[in-house]
Amino acid sequence: MTRPILVPILGDQLSRNLSSLEGLSASEATILMMEVWDEATYVKHHKQKIVLIFSAMRHFAEELRAEGFEVDYVRLDDAQNTGNFTGEVARAIERHAPSEVRVTESGEWRVHNAMLEWEGRFPCPVSILPDTRFIASHADFRRFAEGRKHLTMEYFYREMRRKTGLLMDGEKPTSGVWNLDSENREPPQEGLRAPPTPKFAPDAITQEVIALVGERFADHFGDLEPFGWPVTRAEALEAAEAFFARRLTLFGPYQDAMVHGSDDLYHSMLSTSLNIGLLDPLELCGRAEDEYRKGRAPLNSVEGFIRQIIGWREYVRGFYWHQMPQLAEANEMAAHRPLPEFFWTGKTDMRCLADCIRTTREDAHAHHIQRLMVLGNFCLIAGIDPQEVADWYLAVYADAFEWVELPNVAGMVLYADGGRLATKPYAASGNYINKMSNYCSGCRYKVAQKTGPNACPFNPLYWHFMDANRARLESNHRIGRIYATWDRMGAAKQREYLETAEKFLDSLEPAREGWARSN
C-alpha cells in the first residue's frame, strides 16, 4: 500500500505530540528518520551527545513502529547515506514517491534555511508546520518585542504566566509576587550534598550506538562512558519524578551554588529530555505547581523552576529567531582573543574552571551557574572571541542546540549583542565564586589576593575588562557606578591590576585547531 505523506522527524523532534504527527494515521504516512554525518560534525559534538541523539532516535522509531507506523530509518553507516538531511529526504522521495512532505520546523536557523529550499528541489509539495511544543509562537515573541529597546525577560515571563495560568490566582500571581529570585541565592554550607540524579543503564540499542560512536567519533571531545542519560520518554518521566520527589524542594535556595563533589546539586538535569522532545515543558511545570499546591514544595523553588522553563527557555527561543542571523556574528565588545586550550583539556590551575571542565567532559553537562559565572564569566572578562565560545558550548553540552545555546552565550554571558538580552554584563571577580562555591579553598591561586603572580586571575581580569570597556559600560545604570571605585584606586594600583592581568592573558595557550570543527 502506498502511503501519501512522508514525515521527516529530526533528532530533537522525538515527541508523540509533534505537529507533523498530529491527526496522522499509520496507514497514510511513512516516517523518515536520518542519522547523518553533517549533523554529528557541523560542530564536533561531545560523544555522549551523539549517543543520546542516535539512541533516542532509534528508541523513538521503535515506539512508532509498535503503533503501526512504517518508519524508514537511515543509519549512519548505511552504504548510500548522503550525510545530510536534504540528500536523505531526496532519496526517501525516490523510494516512496509521496504526494506530500510534511515536517515540523527546525529548531536551528541553519537547518531551517535548508528546509526552505526543499519545496523548489523536490517533485512534491513540502509543508513546514510550526513547532507547537513551545508555549510562545514566533508571532507571540514578535508582538512582545515590538517597540522595546531592551527585551527584558521578566515582562515576557509574566505574559507566559498569564497565557498558561501557571501559578496564577485569577489575574494575580500566586502569593502576589511574580518572581522570588531574591530568595534563591543561598551559598552552599560546608558538606552540602544533594541526592544523586538517576542514571539509566544502557540497553542493547544504546550499547550498539556507544560502540558506533566510539569507533566513528573517537576524536570528539568528552568521555563516552559511563553513559546514563534518559533515552526514552519512560526514562525521562522517571528522571522527572525523581527530581520532584527528592530535589525540587531545595532547587530554589541552592540554584546558584556550586559544589565540588556534588556536580548536579539540586538541579533537575532534565534539559536534554526537554530539548530532544521526550518531555513536554507544560507537563513538567504543571507537575511542579502540583507539588506546591499539595504543600510538598515551597513556592520559591517551584516558581524558580517554572520561571526557568516558561520564562528563560521560551524567551531565549523567541530571542534567537528574532535576532538571527545577526546574533551569530555579534561582537559588540570587540572581543578577539582565541579560546584557551585548557577549555578542551581541563589543564589549568584555576580550580573552579578545572572542575567545571571536568564535569563537562565526564557528563556532557555543567549546571547553569557553572556555565554562567565560572566558564562564561572567564570568557567575558578575558575577552574571548564570541564565535569560538559559542562553538565550544554548542559542542560540549548534551543539551546544546543553537536556539538555546547562542542567546545564552552571545547575549547572557558575553554581552556580544550590545545589551539586547541582558541589562548588564555578568562580570564578576573571584569574590563571587568564593562566596557561592567550595572551589577556592583548594586552589593554587589566592582568592583574596588582588594582584601579583598568586592572585586569583578573576580579580585582575575583572578590572582589566572594566577598564578596556569603559566607553561602552560607563553609562550603563546597573554597572557604571563601579568606575568611581576604579578611579579612587589611583594610577599605581590600577597599573598593578592591568599588568597582572596582561601577564596572565599572555600566558594563555590558544586552543589547537580541530577541537570544535574538523580542520
Q: Shortest gap between Cβ of 505 and ligand SF4 (angstroms)?
A: 14
CA-nearest of 59, 93, 101, 58 to 76 is: 58
Binding positions for ligand SF4, 331-350, rule CB under 6 A: 350
Q: Does 35 bind ligand DLZ (CB under 6 A)?
A: yes
Q: Shortest gap between Cβ of 50 and ligand DLZ (angstroms)?
A: 5
Q: Shortest gap between Cβ of 72 and ligand SF4 (angstroms)?
A: 51
Binding positions for ligand DLZ, 348-407, rule CB under 6 A: 401
Among 111, 135, 366, 443, binds ligand DLZ (CB under 6 A): 111
Among 15, 20, 48, 106, binds ligand DLZ (CB under 6 A): 106
Q: Does 434 bind ligand SF4 (CB under 6 A)?
A: yes
Binding positions for ligand DLZ, 1-20, rule CB under 6 A: 10-12
Binding positions for ligand FAD, 265-304, rule CB under 6 A: 267-271, 274-275
Helix axes 491-506, 482-489, angle to 10 degrees: 100
Strands (E), 130-284: 168-169, 172-173
DSSP H helical segments within 294-385, as ranges?
A: 299-306, 314-323, 342-345, 351-363, 368-369, 377-381
Q: Output the CA angle 174-175-179, nearest 5 degrees.
A: 75
User: What SS3 class is residue 456?
Assistant: coil
Q: CB nearer to ligand DLZ: give 287 or 365.
A: 365
Interacting residues of 410 by C-beta distance below 8 A, sequence separation 6+: 327, 328, 330, 386, 390, 416, 417
Q: Shortest gap between Cβ of 405 and ligand FAD (angstroms)?
A: 3
Let me know: does 48 contact 398? Beta carbons within 8 Å. yes
Q: Does 439 bind ligand SF4 (CB under 6 A)?
A: yes
Interatomic CA distance for residues 459 and 452, integer angstroms: 10
Half-sphere exposure of 208 (CA within 13 A, CB side): 11
Q: Shortest gap between Cβ of 343 and ligand SF4 (angstroms)?
A: 14
Binding positions for ligand DLZ, 42-61, rule CB under 6 A: 45, 50, 53
Q: Does 206 bind ligand DLZ (CB under 6 A)?
A: no
Binding at 400: pick from ligand SF4, ligand DLZ, ligand FAD, none (beta carbon under 5-8 Å per type): ligand FAD
All three cell numbers of 18, joined, read 509533534
Binding residues (CB under 6 A) for ligand SF4: these are 350-352, 430, 433-434, 439-440, 443, 445, 447, 456-458
